[in-house]
A and B are shown apart, each in its own frame.
Chain A
Amino acid sequence: MGQNEPVPSLLLIEDDDAIRTALELSLTRQGHRVATAASGEDGLKLLREQRPDLIVLDVMLPGIDGFEVCRRIRRTDQLPIILLTARSDDIDVVVGLESGADDYVVKPVQGRVLDARIRAVLRRGERESNDAASFGSLVIDRAAMTVTKNGEDLQLTPTELRLLLELSRRPGQALSRQQLLRLVWEHDYLGDSRLVDACVQRLRAKVEDVPSSPTLIRTVRGVGYRLDTPQ
């Protein structure tokens, strides 16, 4: 972490005092600026005031739960969201990913793992090259990190954008879920393929003309996904 690199600011929404305090402590030590909220409502309020770079969100919250918070944020904002969930094979993960979360971490959370995930998510917004590519009506401007469809700007989360960039870098070539997990999420070998599936669904909803019959992001059975130029 260089001196001139801006310190990422996080919003941690967690109702349990001990966990909140401990995670705040741990994340602050990892070099983040951390704002905390004890409920979904407080979190949403704080979000409007502070505008953090990323949100760490507990699923089980009093009042409106994590999924609802996630959905409400997604209505207006493409901020990266990492869920704190009970279990990787829970229905929670599926619902959380469908509500628009970018990644999830299973409790009991290890600070280092959470930090790695946070950094990986934040890296997705970084630009890396200065070219553009177009797929039918879809234009990906890698310099401006924008995607337009029929000339209109699309609001993509950094994860969705990164996924589209990785696919567009190898047009017509199928990428397996495990490959995408490594490229986009920077997960190790135990990456959860549902992250990819959920993100592809969200991306299709934004870039495809008819999301249920995709012409751009195609599923390759038994392998993964592929970005095609529509005929």
Chain B
Amino acid sequence: MTQGKQGGRGWSAVRKGKLSRLRLTSLRLRLVVVFGLVALTAAVSASGIAYWLNREAVLTRTQGAVLRDFEQEMQNRAGALPERPSQDELQHTAGQMANSSQHFSVLLVAKDAGGTTVYGSSGGLSGFSLEDVPKTLRDAVNKKQGVTDSNKSPYHVYWQRVVEDGTPYLVAGTRVIGGGPTGYMLKSLEPEAKDLNSLAWSLGIATGLALIGAALLAQAAATTVLKPVHRLGIAARRLGEGRLDTRLRVSGTDELADLSRTFNLAAEALEKRVADMAARDDASRRFVADMSHELRTPLTAITAVTEVLEEELDSEAGSMDPMIEPAVRLVVSETRRLNDLVENLMEVTRFDAGTARLVLDDVDIADQITACIDARAWLDAVELDAERGIHSRLDPRRLDVILANLIGNALKHGGSPVRVSVRLEDDHLVIAVRDHGPGIPEDVLPHVFDRFYKASASRPRSEGSGLGLSIALENAHIHGGEITAANSPEGGAVFTLRLPRDASELTEQADKDKEDAS
């Protein structure tokens, strides 16, 4: 069974470990995400800037060359045309112009001698036509500007980038100054676009690699940070479990080492504090023990003498002064009470000091209970439901203390009849003491075994030391047993005592411990 339990715990620990590694708020995940974000931002901005700069450079260079060439060709060839050229002339010149080093298509537009607009396109009629030129560009090209100091010519070269069927083109146009054809050119930018595309791909891949690298770095960083944190967690848990001598090994000078040092200091302070408190607690316990010991000596003398007084009271009535008699009775009864209290106090200090010892014997439980009830003249008030012949190995004196306290308590608070039943459960002896009183209030129930517990502050404590149930419980514990208090559904309080049938293992264990200690 233990095996299965351990296995289960191990499994859940593994699962827990996994879960904590995957938990959204885990430090590891946060570190990875932050590293990733930083890497992503850096890579994306670097790539973006690089891509943009490259694109501009490539495009500007290509465009500049093309436009320069186009201008040159316009001046050299289109400027050489007559003012009103024919269709053929235009066509021919356009073909010549298109044959330049930059390989662009050319469209020349002019008015022929007849006043009709004629076109000359390098690629023939199916090639470059005026429809391919955006209207805004055409307007700009044909618009005559005023000649000023800063603007020396009425016409300029205008250009525009267009995308048609997914292919980028450069379209430009100008007019020959001083009358002449208007020329347009179309240059495909596809090679440049391809170059830029592959550049974008490389940059993308580089960004991806940077991200993976960042994630790995984050893992490594998380491990270096989390390992000490994990160790700290384990140490803190051990500390919480009461192992106050837990210390961390401090290595390095970083913040985590600082934290470890702080932890060690805190643990040291705590250990000292607890030791101080334990010492003070010990001292006060020893004081109570010494105190009750000291009280016992005069009490022994007083007890012996009060008995003499008591006998005097009982012997012949009237032999004592009627004024003195109640005083003597009071002294006798209060001495008995004081005796019980000191007796109980000593018992309690013995339990606290761990010096209480079992004196075991084989006893018949039914006989033992009957004797306990009989000795206290409770036979009429107690119903015993127990078969003879149930034997148990326990400390009869301690069982008597438990029973006397439980039954006495039941009689005092619950009223008779008190029902005591004995049964066996496996290796345990179960004795239930049930009264027929009002039961125990729910708020008092958890405190019934507390020392000197008073159900209400205003209620004076009835006779008894206030230690009885607590001592009964301690006596059950020393047997390896337990007492529980509850309210019976049929009314009345039920105290259930569970004791192992044979407590000798406990004493053997205790003896062994003592030998080991010495």
Contacts and interface: CB of A to CB of B under 8 A. Distances in A.
A111 B357 CA distance: 26
A102 B219 CA distance: 79
B300 A22 contact: yes
Category for how many chain A residues contact B: 20 to 34
A89 B356 contact: yes
A88 B397 contact: yes
A151 interface: no
Interface string A181-200: 00000001110111000000
B396 A222 contact: no
B361 A107 contact: no
A194 B321 CA distance: 47
Interface in B265-312: 293, 296-305, 307-308, 311
A87 B346 contact: yes
B393 to A, nearest CB: 8
Nearest to B478: A89
A196 B305 CA distance: 32
Interface stretch (A23-31, A156-164, A209-217): A23-31
A19 B307 contact: no
A23 B363 CA distance: 34
B299 A108 contact: yes
B260 to A, nearest CB: 47
Nearest to B502: A222
Q: Which of the four size classes fits the interface of chain B? A: 35 or more
Nearest to A223: B362
B359 A108 contact: no
Interface in B352-374: 356-363, 367-368, 371-372
Contact of B400 (A23, A177, A190, A222): A190
Summarize B's interface: helix, strand, loop or mixed.
helix
Contact of A26 (B304, B360, B372, B400): B304
Contact of B357 (A89, A109, A189, A223): A89
Contacts of A110: 303-304, 307
Interface string A19-42: 101110110010000000000000
A109 B368 CA distance: 24
B303 A109 contact: yes
B350 A87 contact: yes
B305 A22 contact: yes
A19 B363 contact: no
A168 B428 CA distance: 37
Which of A88, A91, A108, A177 is the most central at the interface, judged by chain B CB atoms within 10 Å of its CB? A108
Contacts of B297: 16, 18-19
Contacts of B303: 22, 108-111
A177 B391 CA distance: 14
Contacts of B368: 189
Given A26-B307, A107-B296, A111-B304, 14 more contacts: A16-B297, A22-B300, A22-B302, A23-B301, A25-B308, A89-B356, A89-B397, A90-B357, A108-B300, A108-B343, A188-B371, A189-B396, A192-B397, A223-B362
Interface of A: 16, 18-19, 21-23, 25-26, 29, 86-91, 107-112, 176-178, 188-190, 192-194, 222-223
9 contacts: A21-B301, A22-B303, A22-B305, A25-B305, A107-B296, A109-B304, A189-B367, A193-B361, A194-B359
